[in-house]
């Protein structure tokens, strides 16, 4: 099972790094008789609407679970609409601290709806003022990845208007206090770059960083100093004179408004862990910390959260391991949690001590456009080794290239990344063919397939995921025994039943139907 992360299925054209690259192995798969395209965004993966881009979290949840679960934003939207979110013990405890101290709101500052949404932030801001909070500080992480590369000022302007109204209507003091680009501070994942988390922690907590009078001034100044997009901008601190306005103190409340787990885990641990060794937190304040969701159900991080995550049980992996079907999962650090944690229904440990083997290939700690091959060859090496061991009936891997390099907005680098992926893909497919096995190939969402947009003759880099369908292929030495099934609205959730049938098992009755059937049936 191969997930080519970010490799969407979009029309050919100069903005499509997938089709602009020389990819003979991929082309061969896509031209086979058991090849189609399936949905990987919106309602097909449990998001609120079909205007919502898919992402790696919900994509791998759907692939592994075989069913569609209401996901992050949809869960929170429902909790806000019903008001249930404000009745939780976590919200009440947040208020207990915030009414006597400061409420600190931390999160990705956009409406990209992949990790967060500013609508959720505004709901919290307004409810906090209604519930008696008089002092609130926002610590904003600039996006430029799930939204336009340089769109930060749009979101800052909108937020400043919301804060101005709240301050005037309720006679409170709510302000933006710090920030920085999401790939420069705070939002690391899988332990790839703890220094990024440390920079964010020091900026948000202790007010360490370059000072500006407003967030808009900070962004405008840095735009004049670099060509980088918002996601790479340096940390900044808002100050009155030389005094940072948003440092944290004992008794304060800190609420992380991100709903996606992978890039929320490390900063959550930095705030709430009693024993913490990843970096020196200095004079670590005793704050009450909460998240929008529980980001890791096994680690129980964070300890307090506002909305219950989807309970995902009965995954494909659980059924197959119960049927004595050993498996492996392989990826590099940047996507390791996707093919393990998310795939297994948000569980951070293998489902079986010996029969589910996880292999993490360390990612390079470099900008992805500087090393576009990433660890594709090492992933192929490890995969081929495990395939040839004879121990496993099935396995799954994730190639990160199309997504991580695609996020940089660098078309040439992304084309190069696709060619490196293809070289590795060819080796894995050849090994499976030699073993007379089956390759199931797909992607979790699009990205590299649309690298820029054009309006009024002006091209703008597109660094976000896309709404594209993704390829789905079953490849084997003799495909004549099978044919594609006629499935209404096929999506990523149909993959699990397909894999189970290929392994000779009847999928559970509540799974989305298989994408294949016996020829002539």
| Most distant CA atoms of the chain, gap in Å | 77
How is residue 376 annotated by DSSP? Answer: H
Query: 500 is written with which tokens?
Result: 């189970």
56 is annotated as an active-site residue: yes
Place of tokens 């948003």: 246
Query: 323 is written with which tokens?
Result: 């049927």
How far is Cα 91 from Cα 110, in angstroms, rounded to an integer? 23
In the chain, what is the straight-line distance between the N-terminal and C-terminal CA atoms, in Å? 25
Query: 107 is written with which tokens?
Result: 């999160």
Hey, which residues does 180 pair with through a beta bridge? 141
191, 362 in Cβ contact below 8 A? no
How is residue 42 annotated by DSSP? Answer: G
How far is Cα 365 from Cα 191, in angstroms, rounded to an integer? 11
Which residue of the set 31, 35, 56, 417 is catalytic? 56
How far is Cα 372 from Cα 446, in angstroms, rounded to an integer? 17
417, 372 in Cβ contact below 8 A? yes
List C-alpha distances in Å: 335 to 46, 329, 332, 501.
21, 11, 6, 26
Query: 69 is written with which tokens?
Result: 């679960």
* HEC readout, 175-242: EEEEEEECCCCCCCCCCCCHHHHHHHHHHHHHCCCEEECCHHHHHHHHHCCCCCCHHHCCCEEEEECC
- Beta-sheet pairing, 356-361 with 452-455: unpaired
Count of residues making up the chain: 521
List C-alpha distances in Å: 443 to 59, 119, 222, 364, 421.
8, 29, 35, 22, 13
55, 114 in Cβ contact below 8 A? yes
Active-site residue set: 56
């Amino acid at each position: 099972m191969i997930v080519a992360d970010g490799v969407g299925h979009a029309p050919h054209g100069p903005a499509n790094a997938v089709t602009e690259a020389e990819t003979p192995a991929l082309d061969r798969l896509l031209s086979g008789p058991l090849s189609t395209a399936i949905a990987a965004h919106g309602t097909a993966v449990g998001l609120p609407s079909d205007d919502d881009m898919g992402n790696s979290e919900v994509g791998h949840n759907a692939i592994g679970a075989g069913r569609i679960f209401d996901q992050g934003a949809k869960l929170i939207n429902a909790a806000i609409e019903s008001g249930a979110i404000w009745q939780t013990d976590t919200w009440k405890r947040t208020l207990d601290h915030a009414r006597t101290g400061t409420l600190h709101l931390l999160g990705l500052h956009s409406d990209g709806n992949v990790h967060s949404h500013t609508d959720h932030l505004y709901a919290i801001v307004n409810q906090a003022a209604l519930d008696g909070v008089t002092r609130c500080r926002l610590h904003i992480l600039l996006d430029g990845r799930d939204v336009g590369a340089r769109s930060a000022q749009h979101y800052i302007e909108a937020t400043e208007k919301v804060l101005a109204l709240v301050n005037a209507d309720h006679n409170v003091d709510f302000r933006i206090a710090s920030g920085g680009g999401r790939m420069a501070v705070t939002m690391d994942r899988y332990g790839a770059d703890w220094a990024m988390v440390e920079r964010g922690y020091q900026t948000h907590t202790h007010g360490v960083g370059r000072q500006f009078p407003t967030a808009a001034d900070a962004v405008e100044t840095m735009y004049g100093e670099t060509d980088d997009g918002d996601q790479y901008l340096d940390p900044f601190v808002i100050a009155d004179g030389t005094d940072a306005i948003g440092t944290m103190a004992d008794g304060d409340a800190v609420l992380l408004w991100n709903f996606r787990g992978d890039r929320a885990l490390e900063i959550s641990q930095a705030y709430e862990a009693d024993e913490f060794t990843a970096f020196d937190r200095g004079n670590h304040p005793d704050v009450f910390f909460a998240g929008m969701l529980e980001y890791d159900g096994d680690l129980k991080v964070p300890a307090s959260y506002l909305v219950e995550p989807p309970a995902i049980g009965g995954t494909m992996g659980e059924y197959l391991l119960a049927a004595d079907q050993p498996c492996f999962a392989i990826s590099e650090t940047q996507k390791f949690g996707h093919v393990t944690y998310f795939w297994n229904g948000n569980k951070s440990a293998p489902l079986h001590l010996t029969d589910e083997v996880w292999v993490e290939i360390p990612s390079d700690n470099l900008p992805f456009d500087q090393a576009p091959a990433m660890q594709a060859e090492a992933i192929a090496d490890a995969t081929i080794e495990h395939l040839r061991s004879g121990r496993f009936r099935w396995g799954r891997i994730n190639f990160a290239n199309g997504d991580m390099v695609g996020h940089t907005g660098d078309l040439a680098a992304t084309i190069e990344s696709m060619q490196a992926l293809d070289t590795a893909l060819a080796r894995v497919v050849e090994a499976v063919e030699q073993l007379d096995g089956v390759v199931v190939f797909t992607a979790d969402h699009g990205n590299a397939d649309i690298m820029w947009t054009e309006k009024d003759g002006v091209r703008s880099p597109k660094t976000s995921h896309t709404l594209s369908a993704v390829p789905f292929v079953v490849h084997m030495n003799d495909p004549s025994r099978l044919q594609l099934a006629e499935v209404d609205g096929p999506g990523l959730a149909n993959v699990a039943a397909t894999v189970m049938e290929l392994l000779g098992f009847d999928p559970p009755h509540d799974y989305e139907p298989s994408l294949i059937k016996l020829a002539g049936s």
